[in-house]
Amino acid sequence: MSEGSKAVSRVAIAGLGAIGTSVAKAIDAGIDGVVLSAVSSQSIGKHRDWLSQLKSAPATLPIEQLADVADIVIECAPSGLVRSIVAPVVSRGKTAIVLSAGALLENDDLIELARKHGGQIVVPTGALIGLDAVTAAAVGTIHSARMVSRKPPRGFAGAPYVVENKIDLEAVTAPQKIFEGNARAAAKGFPANINVSVALSLAGIGADRTMVEIWADPTVTRNVHRIEVDSDSARFSMMIENIPSENPKTGRITALSVIAALRKLHAPLRVGT
């Protein structure tokens, strides 16, 4: 690369819900060293109006083809699509930013696929807090990690655990604990809600040892997560109250976390582990 030239990362987005749309518009508005090369959506037609108004309209492609035109693919899709999005990316030695972290527990061979081909899977901080501290503590020994999540009851609508256990969310008039178990079980029962617990487990002591409580709480208007970690280097607890996005299952800060990660790619100063 010649002196004075700048590296440019081509980014594609799989899924144009609240998060994918926000990230796409932010890239188009301008992130140093980043261009939006392509997008994919199961219902691309309803997005054509705003996509056509972008300064540089991206290609619209099937998810399997995104890796052909991008260096980084951001997964903002339903968890069932994670494998079909991530596998083509990492097998080409490229980077996949995965928001549906829970799906990685059922597709952990994707990590080995990335290792084999020189690719990388990035799980952004998302709606959680303190992952830098957890990853640092994990260099030593973490004795325990626990997360308690509270959301308005409607934020759990349709979750497999809620459906299977016939939990009537409309009848919840006071804070009610609806789940307690490890992060692996939480991810299976609440795939659209508890990616934060999986991110915590991946940063720390794993999905089987990271414990989770989930509360349907009509007294809160924000998605509240509290984590408690005890290690040989520090004991810490942190809480975050996230304002929900247009999708009540997801906080607004999740999209901002992805945008912040993209800004770090070519920033002259990078803060955080």
**Catalytic site residue from 117, 143, 225, 266:** 225
Average pLDDT over residues 3-18: 84
Q: Please give the pLDDT value at position 17.
A: 93
User: pLDDT of 28-78, one tens digit each?
Assistant: 999 999 999 999 999 999 999 999 999 999 999 999 999 999 999 999 999
What one-letter code names the amino acid at 23?
Answer: V
Q: Please give the pLDDT value at position 1.
A: 43
Q: Please give the pLDDT value at position 249.
A: 67
Model confidence band, residue 6 (pLDDT cutoffs 50, 70, 90) = low
Specify the residue for token string 């260099």: 139
Q: Please give the pLDDT value at position 46.
A: 94
How far is the C-alpha of 16 from the C-alpha of 215, rounded, in Å? 28
User: pLDDT of 213-269, one tens digit each?
Assistant: 999 999 999 999 999 999 999 999 999 998 877 776 677 888 999 999 999 999 999
Average pLDDT over residues 107-127: 94
The percent of residues above 90 in pLDDT, for the chain, comes to 85
pLDDT tops 60 at residue 3: no
Q: Please give the pLDDT value at position 4.
A: 47
Alpha helices in the chain (DSSP H): 18-30, 48-52, 82-90, 103-106, 109-117, 131-139, 160-164, 183-189, 195-203, 252-264
Average pLDDT over residues 140-145: 98
Helix (H, G, I), strand (E, B) or coil at 193: coil
Model confidence band, residue 206 (pLDDT cutoffs 50, 70, 90) = very high
Q: Start-end ranges of CATH 3.40.50.720 in the chain?
A: 9-127+253-264
Contact assessment for residue 172 and residue 153, using Cβ atoms and an 8 Å cutoff: yes
Arch. (CATH architecture) of 131-248:
2-Layer Sandwich (3.30)
Q: Please give the pLDDT value at position 245.
A: 74
Q: Start-end ranges of CATH 3.30.360.10 in the chain?
A: 131-248
Q: Average per-residue pLDDT in the chain?
A: 93
225 is catalytic: yes
Q: Which fold has domain 9-127+253-264?
A: Rossmann fold (3.40.50)
How far is the C-alpha of 130 from the C-alpha of 135, rounded, in Å? 9
Q: Is the pTM of this model over 0.85?
A: yes
**Angle formed by the axes of helices 131-139 and 195-203, to 10°?**
30
